[in-house]
Structure 1
Amino acid sequence: MRDSVASPVPFRHAAALLIAVSLAAGVLTACGERAEAQGGPPPAPPVSVAPAVQKPIADSEEFTGRLEALETVDIRPRIGGTIDRVHFVDGATVKKGALLFTIDPRPYQAEVARAESQLAAAQSRAELAKAELARAQKLLDAKAVSRQEFDQLGSGERTSQADIRAAEAALRVARLNVEYTAVRAPIAGRLSRANITAGNLVDDKTVLTTLVATHKVYAYFDGSEQTFLRLRKANDAQLNVKMGLANESGFPHTGKVDFIDNRLNTQTGAIRIRAVFDNADGQFTPGLFARLQVAGSTSYDAVLTPERAIGTDQSKKFVFVVGANNVAEFREVKLGALIDGMRVVTSGLKPGELVVVSGLQRVRPGAPLAPEKLDVDARGMPVEKPVAPPPGAGGKKDEKKAALSAPVAAARAA
């Protein structure tokens, strides 16, 4: 009896589930039939557009170069000897005249003593020769000595004076050599490591270390013939150069062109140009890679559009402009300099024309568009609108899910 009463319940459940599946299939079939019945052309693709702007700019050129020190000195001893002591730490920054190395001074101090004794001997001989000449002069007046003997004594007195001057020169050299035992910095700057340590024997060809000036740096780069002709006409106030290092964005440092070479390289058509930058805080190290920007001398009104709006077709550059009736219009353009993400357009575009800046891959020439105009900032760069979820997002999906689940819920309730 219990089995015969319970058997109808599963049957009712199965029937309700079959009805639910049939209803869902009908709903999906009806949706597909409506989609096929609509047909027609595809909708216009949505794109973001921004107006081309016009503002005064000055042309600029960008170059790459290397930083070099204003002064680089190989520190060599002026005399030979044994290194007695090293007075600096590797990589230290020193002032002009700072003591770097000491060479054993004892041999040169002995040479000073010898030169002093030779000078004293020469002075003694000179005094004797002078006295003898004075006596000979009296005897000559009394005709007690021949003229020949008097001339010989005069020559000996002049020779003794020459010996004094030679001894004085030798003494000065000996004293200089004692001074040279203290190797000092000829300029202010930063030292490299000590190539020679205490106890080593050196001569005047040995490089003890190197020293570079750090208060300023040079940036060398190669400019084109057009750059050279433009800089040659500019005055000193217009020869500003901006620089950025490899880890910096933009060109935060400003310097000046202080040297242009006297001839162009006929093979490359380039000329060597040098700019100088202050380095009081020591942030620039010789040998670093640098990006350089040379500004133009005069400003003019130019048309600009965002760099991302520029398309490439083989060797051509183009933009898409929103034409009449929101139809995409293909424009070939000629480009100029890139300034803060905005590209100068020298021909092919007018101020105020709406240029496609986003969704460029969905645009076809002559096809209709659904443009959305964006605001622009002070540079002319478009400001993207915040992306917000559309109202009722997920509504259709929820409706379909509800349509499919409602019969199942009804069947379960039954």
Structure 2
Amino acid sequence: MTGRLQMRPGRVLGTLTALGLAAFLVACNESGSQGQAAPPPPPVTVASPLVQKITEWDEFTGRYEATASVEVRARVSGYLQSINFTDGAMVKQGDLLFTIDPRPYQAVVDSAQADLTNAQARLDLAKVQLDRAQSLVAQSNVSRSSYDQAVQERRASEAAVAQTTAALQSAQLNLGFTQVKAPMSGRVSNRRVDIGNLVTGDPSSTLLTTIVALDPIYFEFDMSEADYLAYQRAVVAGKLPSTRDNATIIQTRLPDEQDWPHAGTMNFVDNRLDPGSGTIRARAILDNKDLFITPGQFGRLRLPGSNEYDAILVPESAILTDQSNRVVMTVKDDNTVVPKIIRPGPTYPGGLRIIRDGLTAQDKVIINGLVRARPGAKVTPQPGTIAAVPEYDAN
């Protein structure tokens, strides 16, 4: 037929087969594209900062010192006769520690006592003679010069009594010094002289032993000029009591202690800074009733650096460093990661850190999964909690 296109049956079948194959390939391609869709945002654990009432503490290293220390020395010379204590024992005020041979000093006391008795007898005679002369001069039976002589005899006798009395008191003091007694209660050191040795008194007196007071006990430490100035500023602003105030509470611990079991109060702050070291000496006083702490031991002291307040705490592991800034990652309501620059404070027990500025209690902080969080990217937040980890400090 003229003017009309005719197709053979085989050709039509081939064309339909090609179209079907193309449609199949397109369908398969669309199915593969749907299977390779973008994955969901990565999961992270978020939690609001822990808000807790705390008191910040500043720590210092120092040394425990005795509240009183005495060198026990001989005050008279002589041979050491006895030692009446055990080395290192606790003694009470007035306990007999040493005895120096008292016999020479007893002889001096006896001689002074005899001199006083003689002087007292002369005074008694002078009084009688003066009374007699007084009655005779009134009757004009004795001259005025004899009466005056009797008056002078009495005065001389009174002076002799006073002199011999003083000599007796001095001799008795020296006799008492032969018994060396503890001037205060405390722990005595070892004896520095053995029995039979000659000890000397003033001026180059022999050291016999020492005694230190143990309860209460001091803790002395040095505070830097910057720390001292910061405390002064806080005191002026009314944020802290003066460090010179005995009501300021402190806590101490020994090198092998984890907690702060020893409590006391501030006792002294020096009146000037040492220009060489740039520090000022301070001191606290605390009980030592069990006598466990020994003067000379090192320790740590912590002093309140703030009044009690509501602090914002986050885990140390949640804080990142970005050049000179400290940063925490937070998540907005639309699940977008937003970094926030913070001003961290001191560490807190349990692996936490105090945040002074840059964070609120309503923020959602990423505490786990930080490696999957990118600023501005989406995440899948999962709820968590912030709490102190007791085992953290032990490690």
State the alpha-carbon separation in 2 of the partners of residues 83 and 361 from structure 1. Answer: 79
Q: Residue 175 of structure 1 corresponds to which residue in structure 2? A: 172
* Counterpart residue number, 1:207: 207
Identity %: 41
Quick one: which of 79, 83, 87 aligns to 2:80?
83
Residue pair 1:225, 1:270 contacting (<8 A) in 2 also: no
2:262 is aligned to 253
Q: For the residues of structure 2 that align with 1:122 and 1:207, how far apart are their CA atoms?
A: 39
1:228, 1:271 within 8 Å by CA — same for their partners in 2? no
* Inter-CA distance 60–323: structure 2 relative to 1 (3 Å threshold): same
Partners of 1:167 and 1:244 lie apart in 2 by 60
Which residue type is aligned with residue 292 of structure 2? Q
Q: CA 1:46 to 1:118, structure 2 compared with 1: closer, same or farther past 3 Å?
A: farther
1:107–1:229 CA distance, 2 compared to 1 (3 A)? farther
Write the distance in 2 (CA, Å) between the matches of 1:284 and 1:371: 52
1:111 deviation in Å? 0.9
Q: Secondary structure at the match of 1:280?
A: coil
Deviations 1:255-278 (A, max 9, x none): 111323334446666433322111
Q: Structure 1 residues 207, 355: CA separation in 2 closer, same or farther (over 3 Å shift)?
A: farther
Taking the aligned partners of 2:127 and 2:302, their CA distance within structure 1 comes to 76
Give the match for residue 344 of structure 1.
354
Q: For 2:208 and 2:135, locate their aligned partners in 1 and report how far apart those are by CA, in whole Å.
A: 63
Helix, strand or coil at the partner of 2:99: strand
> Hey, what's the Cα distance between the residues in 1 that align with 2:391 and 2:317?
13
Cα shift readout 1:198-230 (whole Å, capped 9, x = no counterpart): 122222322211111111011122341222454
SS at match of 1:119: helix
- The answer to whether the Cα contact below 8 Å between 2:247 and 2:266 also exists between their aligned partners in 1 is no
Confirm whether residue 335 of structure 1 aligns to residue 344 of structure 2: yes
Alignment match, 1:73: 70
Q: Distance in 2 between matches of 1:238 and 1:141?
A: 77
Q: CA deviation at 1:142?
A: 3.8
Q: Do 1:122 and 1:160's aligned partners in 2 also have CA atoms closer than 8 Å? A: yes
Aligned-pair distance for 1:369?
6.3
Offset of 1:167 from its aligned partner? 0.9
Superposed displacement of residue 149, structure 1: 2.8
Q: Deviations over 1:9-54 (max 9, x none)?
A: xxxxxxxxxxxxxxxxxxxxxxxxxxxxx99999988766543222
Matched, 1:226 2:235: no
SS in 2 for 1:375: coil
User: Structure 2: how far apart are the matches of 1:72 and 1:47?
Assistant: 62
Say if 1:171 and 1:237 are closer, same or farther in 2 by CA, change over 3 A. closer
Number of the residue aligned with 1:123: 120
CA distance in 1, matches of 2:92, 2:371: 62
For 2:198 and 2:66, the matched residues in 1 are separated by 30
Provide the C-alpha distance between the structure 2 equivalents of 1:339 and 1:82, rounded to a whole number of angstroms: 62
Q: Counterparts of 2:85 and 2:71 in 1: how far apart (Å)?
A: 16
Cα root mean square deviation, aligned: 3.3
Paired with 2:339 and 2:281, the residues of 1 have a C-alpha distance of 42
**How much does 1:359 deviate?**
6.3
Residues 1:240 and 2:244 aligned together: no
For residue 221 of structure 2, give the secondary structure of its aligned residue in structure 1.
strand
Matched, 1:185 2:189: no
Per-residue CA deviation, residues 142-193 of structure 1 (Å, 9 max, x unaligned), is 4343322321221121111111111111111211222111111111111111
Normalising by the residue count of structure 1, what TM-score does the alignment of the two structures yield?
0.72
Alpha-carbon displacement from aligned partner over 1:288-307 (angstroms, at most 9, x marks no partner)? 22211222453333321122
Given that 1:50 and 1:382 are in contact with CA atoms closer than 8 Å, whether structure 2 keeps it comes out as no
CA distance in 2, matches of 1:181, 1:86: 12
Instruction: Give the TM-score of the pair, scaled to structure 2.
Output: 0.76
Is the deviation greater in 105-114 or in 224-233? 224-233
Aligned to 1:319: 328
Q: How many Å separate the matches in 2 of 1:47 and 1:80?
A: 85
Cα-to-partner distance string for 1:71-107 (whole Å, 9 max, x where unaligned): 1111112222221111111111111111111111111
Structure 1 unaligned blocks of 5 or more: 1-37, 385-414
**Is 1:375–1:383's contact at 8 Å kept on the other side of the alignment?**
no
Q: Could you tell me which amino acid in structure 2 is paired with residue 72 of structure 1?
A: S
Counterpart check, 1:62 vs 2:59: yes
SS at match of 2:133: helix
Q: Which stretch of structure 1 is more off in the superposition, 312-321 or 269-278?
A: 312-321
Match of 2:142 in 1: 145
Matched-pair contact (CA < 8 Å) for 1:52–1:305: yes
Secondary structure in 1 matching 2:74: coil
Q: Unpaired runs of 5+ in structure 2?
A: 1-34
Residue 353 (str. 1) matches residue 363 (str. 2): yes
Residue 294 of structure 2 aligns to a residue whose secondary structure is: coil
Aligned-pair CA distance for 1:367: 6.6
Find the aligned partners of 2:37 and 2:256 in 1 and give their Cα distance.
54
* Mean CA deviation greater in 283-292 or 344-353: 344-353
Distance of 2:131 and 2:349 partners within structure 1? 93
1:210-256 Cα shifts (integer Å, max 9, x gaps): 11111101112234122245457527696111112111113222211
Secondary structure of 1:311's counterpart equals strand
* 2: CA distance, partners of 1:190 / 1:158: 53
